[in-house]
Amino acid sequence: MVRSEVSQNTISLIKYYVLNVFLTPNLVIIIGAGLGGCAAAMAMHYQGFHVTVFEKIKKFLRLGDSLGLGENALKLLKRWGLHEQLVKIGNRSPNMNIRRWSDGKILATQPLMDMAGYIGHRGDYHQAFLDRVAELGIDIKMGHNVISFNEEKPSITLEDGREFEADIIIGADGIKSQTRELVLGFADKPKSSGYACYRAYFKGDILRSVPQCQPILERDCVNIWIGPDTHLVQNTLRDGEEFNWILTHKDDEDIQESWFQPGDMNKVRESIKDWDPMIVSAVNETRECLDWKICYRDPIPTWVSKSHKIALLGDSCHAHLPTSAQGASQATESAAVLALCLKLAGKGNIPLATRVYEKLRFERVRQAQLNGEDVRDRWHSCLKNLEEGKEVDPEDVKMKNRWLYVFDAEKETLEKWDRVSAIVKKELAEGKVTPLFDSSTGPTRNLELYDAYGNRKADTKLIPKKQQPVTAVH
């Protein structure tokens, strides 16, 4: 009789764990409904989890200008039912021209998909993401400001005092992330990159009567003028209906000042008055622009809280320079990887999932970040370092991004899961976690070059390498 009761209790216990621990979907809270937050919401939904997104802004406006989405992100978004809508938004130009600042001479031409993917208005892409999240029935709570966290439960508390619990909390709250402060244990401020950009986006009709602008207005196109310590990116969208330019320039103002402010068009016009007349004419007709600081945050040695139940994603842990053309794409990759790690780890194994996630993602996003620095530095230096009488080698100014686009984040996660999860299980069992890099030396400055198939090349001369010993954190 006793044996029968024990057996029945054991069976009941097994049923409980199967139904409530292993099969019950994770409850996921996402902080932030930007591109990264929306990507995370879709990724989690497609892995079968219950998702709620909290966004402090009450209503999004069509803000910003151009944004690139690479094939590495598009292949994931296609699986989430969003590919066709994004293709309609993107620039239809097959190529992108890199030009000399002074006369517009074309120094190199590349297929657009090999450089920046689909380029479109950031606001239009964001709205497409939001619409798809709504179609999937995912709850986005707009105008809900999170003021505190409990990482042990884990839970969030809103400004009105309400508390919400989940199995995991994802901080996709951008470069000003408050979730990042919780993970780090202290507040680290964004830093100036030493550059800012004048940004303008307007209707192409403004340029219809300007003869010099017609070659870059009559159809979709992308052009980049490069010069000493500066470059200007120009996009024509929707067959000339919309026009955009972004002029990157040196900036030494303190980060505590406004991140963006109205730009002085007289100052902009003066700064490029000796440039190629085609783009000078377009800028001269521009009525207003923004002066936007290009900010970054130092890489951090962990993306996960001490309880392992709060994880960072996107700009909150891996912001990118515009010249990487990968900010939104890398956030999308991170969303896919974290969702798949949670699925593979199983209900109740959040620490395993989050720690594998950061190990799988850190090196790749670091390489994408360094690639953006490399592109900017090559564009800004190639002409001023050119010997008299010599022409620019097209390879010196091309974006070397193909290795980024052939990557499949979900496929990579499946291939590496067993090996990396075994390492993490051992660390968790021993009560220690190795950091993503040694804080005393900083993250790697070595940009590994990749071939078109994503394989590393032997030549790594672009940025000197630092060796980092591994130490434990937490």
- What mean pLDDT is predicted for residues 324-330? 95
> Looking at residue 455, what is its pLDDT?
58
Residue 20 has pLDDT above 60, yes or no: no
Residue 433, Cβ neighbours under 10 Å: how many?
A: 21
> Looking at residue 24, what is its pLDDT?
60
Nearest in space to 66 (alpha carbons), one of 225, 244, 320, 253: 244
Determine whether domain 27-92+120-188+298-385+405-430 maps to CATH 3.20.20.70.
Answer: no
Residue 459 has pLDDT above 60, yes or no: no
Residue 400 and residue 283: Cα distance in Å, rounded? Answer: 29
DSSP strands (E only) in 308-423: 310-312
Paired tokens of 95: 């190529």
Q: Which of 52-56, 110-114, 313-317, 325-329 has the lowest mean pLDDT?
A: 110-114
DSSP code at position 393: P
> Looking at residue 452, what is its pLDDT?
46
DSSP code at position 452: T
Q: What confidence category does residue 465 fall into, taking pLDDT thresholds of 50, 70 and 90?
A: very low
Residue pLDDT, tens place only, 344-402: 999 889 999 999 999 999 999 999 999 999 999 999 999 987 877 789 999 999 998 88
Q: Which of 215-219, 322-326, 440-444 has the lowest mean pLDDT?
A: 440-444
- What mean pLDDT is predicted for residues 273-295? 96
Question: Between these two residues, 23 and 84, which has the higher pLDDT value?
Answer: 84
Beta partners for residue 202, in sequence order: 243
Paired tokens of 143: 């105008």
Residue 200 has pLDDT above 70, yes or no: yes
Residue pLDDT, tens place only, 125-146: 999 999 999 999 999 999 999 9
Query: So where are the chain's domains?
Result: 27-92+120-188+298-385+405-430, 191-296
Residue 365 and residue 368: Cα distance in Å, rounded? Answer: 5
Tokens 């809270």 -> residue: 29
> Looking at residue 400, what is its pLDDT?
86
| pTM for this predicted structure | 0.89
Give the 3-state secondary structure of residue 440. coil
Residue pLDDT, tens place only, 53-94: 999 999 998 888 899 999 999 999 999 999 989 988 989 899
Question: Between these two residues, 111 and 462, which has the higher pLDDT value?
Answer: 111
Q: Which of 63-77, 213-227, 457-471 has the lowest mean pLDDT?
A: 457-471
pLDDT, the chain, mean: 89
> Looking at residue 190, what is its pLDDT?
80
Paired tokens of 71: 């094939």
- Contacts of residue 7, defined as CB under 8 A and 6 or more positions apart, other chains included, come to none
CATH topology of domain 191-296: D-Amino Acid Oxidase; Chain A, domain 2 (3.30.9)
Residue 184 has pLDDT above 70, yes or no: yes
Nearest in space to 330 (alpha carbons), one of 400, 442, 405: 405
CATH topology agreement for domains 27-92+120-188+298-385+405-430 and 191-296: no
- What mean pLDDT is predicted for residues 194-202? 95
Q: What confidence category does residue 14 fall into, taking pLDDT thresholds of 50, 70 and 90?
A: low
Q: What confidence category does residue 19 fall into, taking pLDDT thresholds of 50, 70 and 90?
A: very low
Residue pLDDT, tens place only, 221-262: 999 999 999 999 999 999 999 999 999 999 877 655 456 789
Residue 425 and residue 106: Cα distance in Å, rounded? Answer: 53
Q: What confidence category does residue 7 fall into, taking pLDDT thresholds of 50, 70 and 90?
A: low
> Looking at residue 386, what is its pLDDT?
82
> Looking at residue 331, what is its pLDDT?
99
DSSP for 130-149? HHHHHHTT-EEEET--EEEE
Paired tokens of 144: 């809900």
Angle (CA) 185-190-196 rounded to 5° is 170
Residue 352 and residue 333: Cα distance in Å, rounded? Answer: 19
In one-letter notation, the amino acid at residue 224 is I
Q: What confidence category does residue 468 fall into, taking pLDDT thresholds of 50, 70 and 90?
A: very low
- What mean pLDDT is predicted for residues 316-333? 96
Residue pLDDT, tens place only, 402-454: 889 999 999 999 999 999 999 999 999 999 889 998 877 788 777 776 654 45
